[in-house]
Copies of this chain bind each other. A is one copy, B any other.
Amino acid sequence: MEKFTIKDLYAKPTEFADKQVEIEGWIKTSRGSKKICFIEANDGSFLKNAQIIVKNDNPDFDEIRKWPIASTIRVNGTFVSTPDAPQPFEIHASKITLEGHSNSDFPLQKKEQSYEYLRTLAHLRPRTNTFYSVFKVRSMAAFAVHQYLQSRDFTYVNTPIITSSDAEGAGETFRVTTMDMNNLPKTEDGKVDDSKDFFREKANLTVSGQLSVEAYALALRNVYTFGPTFRAENSHTARHASEFWMIEPEMAFADLKDTMEVSEGLVKYVVNYLFEHAKEELDFLNSINEGLIDRLKETVNEDFAKVTYTEAIKLLEESGEKFEVPVKWGIDLQSEHERYLCEHIYNKPVFLTDYPRNIKAFYMRDNDDGKTVAAADLLVPEIGEMVGGSQREEREDKLRAKIDEFGLNEEEYNWYLELRKYGETVHSGFGIGFERLVMYVTGMANIRDVIPYPRTPGNAPF
């Protein structure tokens, strides 16, 4: 008798009809009477369970009925099609064995446990339908990102996680050290001697791979990073984590319009990939997160809107809406503004372009108006900002002046300036917060519920 996964059985029910099959799995539910026992088993290969029927002619019937939830079982039996029942088939067990014990205090027995509580069970929560679906979707979304970019000749570049540079000078960083904190080496003036640390200087966790990956765009044309980044910010919102994954495509010979095309294409590709490969998971998520599938259908069927920052400010001012942070040209838009734009004015994803230069990073290319930069952020319903992109300042003299103007240490950016000194090239790129994308495609409202083991201030267990 060949071993099958439950996914196999669901994939070709007619092929298995009346055949003998063997599966392994975990007991999800067990109920019945003195005559018959119904066990729903899941083997992790598929969201849905296989229904197992055990009759009381089984000599171990009384024992089997008592096996606790989460026990590991092996079942041999007949595959019986049940076209009129909620599930398409049952397995009538001829033999069923306990392969591994479980325990009656298994904490996931009750339905409707809160997400907050389940976060304390990060090692067990993927066994629930919700988190099974979220993490299947997360995995497929990651693969779809790679597939989209690789099929367009983007080269995947693993930029460094530990770095002695602090990237854009933005964002609090985590220090990485091997020094004994209770016995720190000191310099003559009594300060900590960083030159005695592992890397012989201060080193941090990266906040972005963009600058490093630009060097690769200027050699391999289309490139991208996809890796973890870190922010040591003491924020406790539902959209921020201390550790999260970013996708950062970067393209030589490409301008701002190209970043919008590629990022719109990428988001739509991911959604279409999920429609094709994660049907059961999306259906389940749609049943708990209302409107999810409709929103995703709109995402792939409509062109994203485009509006300049200046025009958006006007629209917000004219909306008559009271915002917590008052709207005026020059402000850094808050989540409330971003969401109002895409949820109330456009009702779909919106690219906001040409932001004031003073609220954006030094590396963005100055527009000719002297006030704005060639930036384009993608705002999406429910989430707010999902993508931040820009054309990079490729003009060596202007970049050098801006590094000075922004108060950055020019020496630290020598290598970055050399990328312009040796082949000034129009180039552009964008970053997608991968968890924001996963929240968008799963409908989950808290970033802690789309990361296997989320890290936030005060929380790094497991």
Q: Which A residues contact B (CB, under 8 angstroms)?
A: 5, 7, 24, 26, 43-45, 70-72, 99-103, 106, 122-124, 126-127, 131-132, 135-136, 138-140, 142-143, 146-147, 150, 153, 155-165, 172, 174-179, 181-182, 184, 191-192, 198-201, 203, 205, 212, 215-222, 227-228, 230, 232, 242-243, 245, 252-253, 394, 396, 415-416, 418-426, 451-453, 455, 457-462
Nearest residue, chain B, Cβ from A219: B126
> Known: A220-B132, A457-B198. Is A158-B245 also a contact (CB below 8 A)?
yes
With a cutoff of 8 Å between Cβ atoms, the chain B residues found around residue A423 in the complex are 26, 70-72, 100-102
Residue from A24, A150, A164, A462 having most chain B Cβ neighbours under 10 A: A462
With a cutoff of 8 Å between Cβ atoms, the chain B residues found around residue A253 in the complex are 24, 43
A220: which of B44, B165, B457 is its contact (CB, 8 Å)? Answer: B44
With a cutoff of 8 Å between Cβ atoms, the chain B residues found around residue A198 in the complex are 174, 232, 242, 457-458
> Known: A139-B155, A198-B242, A455-B199. Is A72-B424 also a contact (CB below 8 A)?
yes
With a cutoff of 8 Å between Cβ atoms, the chain B residues found around residue A421 in the complex are 102-103
Interchain CA distance A424-B122 in the complex, whole Å = 18
Contact indicator B26/A425 (Cβ below 8 Å): yes
> Known: A7-B153, A124-B215. Is A453-B201 also a contact (CB below 8 A)?
no
A99: which of B5, B177, B425 is its contact (CB, 8 Å)? Answer: B425
Contact indicator B424/A460 (Cβ below 8 Å): no
With a cutoff of 8 Å between Cβ atoms, the chain B residues found around residue A99 in the complex are 424-426
Q: Could you pull out 25 A-B pairs where Cβ atoms are within 8 angstroms?
A: A44-B220, A70-B423, A72-B425, A101-B396, A101-B424, A123-B416, A123-B418, A131-B219, A138-B156, A142-B158, A158-B228, A158-B245, A158-B452, A160-B453, A161-B161, A161-B230, A162-B230, A162-B242, A162-B455, A163-B460, A164-B460, A174-B198, A181-B184, A227-B227, A415-B462
